[in-house]
Amino acid sequence: MGPRACLVGCVLFATASVAAAPKPPAAPTIAAGPRTFVAFAGRPAAVRIGWAAVPGAARYRVRWSDAAHPVELILTAPALERFESRTGQHRVSIAAIDEHGQVSAPAEVSLDIVAITATRAGSEQPEATDATAFASGARFASPGLRCRIGGGVPADIVTATVPGATTVRCGGGPGQPTAEVPLVITPVIVSAQTAPLRRGTPTRIHVSVASTAPLGDRLEVEAVGDLSLGDIKRTRGGIDVVITAGAGTEEAGLILRASSVELGRLRLVALDAPPTVMGPGKPDWFAVDLGGYVGAITTPQLGDDALALGDPLDAGDANASGPLAGAPLGVFPTRRVGLEVELGLAAPSYVGRLGVAALLITRAQIAARIAEEGRFGLRALVGGGALSLLSQNGTSRPGTMGNVHYGGAFSVETRRNVSVRFQALHVITVARDAGYAHCVELTVGVVTRLGRRDRWK
């Protein structure tokens, strides 16, 4: 074979090898979509970029980079989803890779991550939140960009003042990205139930402040008219404020603000304090307690330790435990010590017989308040009374037996001069063996106070 034939053979072999080598996949085509993503209220931006699947591609190489944090990812699906907190411009390069490892030409796109901060009404600093509803007075800003709410005027910091659905838009100037976040601005309800103020007398009132979106603790109170403000305390449901109306004030008011935005206002009326009239012979410490209770009485039920009430010849005819109900009446001639009487009716069962008995309970006792703390009170009780069996069954006959008792009561004032009282008494009477039978009464009731209003003094 001559030199010419060898040359021709080499050319043909190289051509065949080139023709047989697989071609690299085509460059991905990035789908249309947003190129600006928002990191709102301290949350990272949710970034998603998609592209058409490339024929022959086994995976995709995605290079994400900003000025200082390059990242390379290998994906099998034609989409990139990630959360990004770093603001600024990011460059994304996407290349397809086939099963032979051949890499396509890259497709590139630029993305902008924009941060928008949210400061709720009544707060001084932005906070991280998942909420998209904010109360009137909330503020929004984006570092380096001017923002506006709805069709408002752009500013470095914008404040929501109009309730309803709206949009916060930041940027959009020459060379700037445009970021938008849909929001709901909720109204703030300000109310108070107050009697007319007494001129010259400090009065504490509670102003209720409510909104479906959270409010911060930094709410501002402004007086309208001849009104001086004292102690102001933020509470869970609003604000407690001490106010004093001037000598000539007829009408005044309060304005509640958050970040200089008016949330609401109250109208107040002032009157002269009525003269104090001391009626002769009417002590200001007299009071009467009146109420009702339900509960249960438990008695010893073993042989001769059972109650002797009714003189049962058979231990099975002695009274056992049962429900009771009654009413107390108390007279308090002093602030802490008073006399109470009670009338109750119990329906105990029998130790060894079917049926229930009718048991009348009468007693008198000394009640001494030993501890008071706000709405809560604790009192000690000691006294005596009688248990009267009104029914007959078996060998048990109607009769009356005296007793002594001691115990305590815990009360909770649920509204002015109305309390729920939990009471426990140890009642000691006569047993069938002529010894002592120890009974226990547990009751819960409602008591109202008539007269003196120094309940917690």
Show me where the domains of the chain are located: 36-114, 117-186, 191-271, 287-451
Give pLDDT, residue 258: 87
Give pLDDT, residue 5: 55
Report the CATH number of the 36-114 domain. Answer: 2.60.40.10
- Contacts of 91 by beta carbon, 8 Å cutoff, 6+ apart: 63, 64, 65, 66, 108, 109, 110, 111
Low-confidence ranges of the chain (pLDDT < 70): 1-21, 67, 273-285, 303-305, 452-457
> Do 162 and 110 form a contact (C-beta atoms < 8 A)?
no
Give pLDDT, residue 14: 47
Between the alpha carbon of residue 147 and those of residues 43, 150, 156, the distances in Å are: 18, 10, 6
Task: Please tell me whether residue 16 adopts helix, strand or coil conformation.
Answer: helix
Please state, in angstroms and rounded to a whole number, the distance separating the CA atoms of residues 163 and 313. Answer: 81
Q: Which CATH architecture has domain 117-186?
A: Sandwich (2.60)
Beta bridge partners of 338: 367
> Do 391 and 357 form a contact (C-beta atoms < 8 A)?
yes
Q: What amino acid is encoded at 25 in this protein? A: P
Give pLDDT, residue 395: 80
State how beta strands 147-149 and 164-171 pair: antiparallel
What are φ and ψ of residue 304, in 5° steps? -75, -10
What are φ and ψ of residue 186, in 5° steps? -100, 145
pTM of the model: 0.54
Would you say the CATH fold of 117-186 matches that of 36-114? yes
Q: What amino acid is encoded at 381 in this protein? A: L
DSSP code at position 272 = P
Decide yes or no: CATH 2.40.160.20 for domain 287-451. yes
> Do 284 and 457 form a contact (C-beta atoms < 8 A)?
no
CATH classification of 191-271, choosing from 1.10.1040.10, 3.40.50.170, 2.60.40.10, 3.40.640.10? 2.60.40.10
Please state, in angstroms and rounded to a whole number, the distance separating the CA atoms of residues 336 and 50. Answer: 79
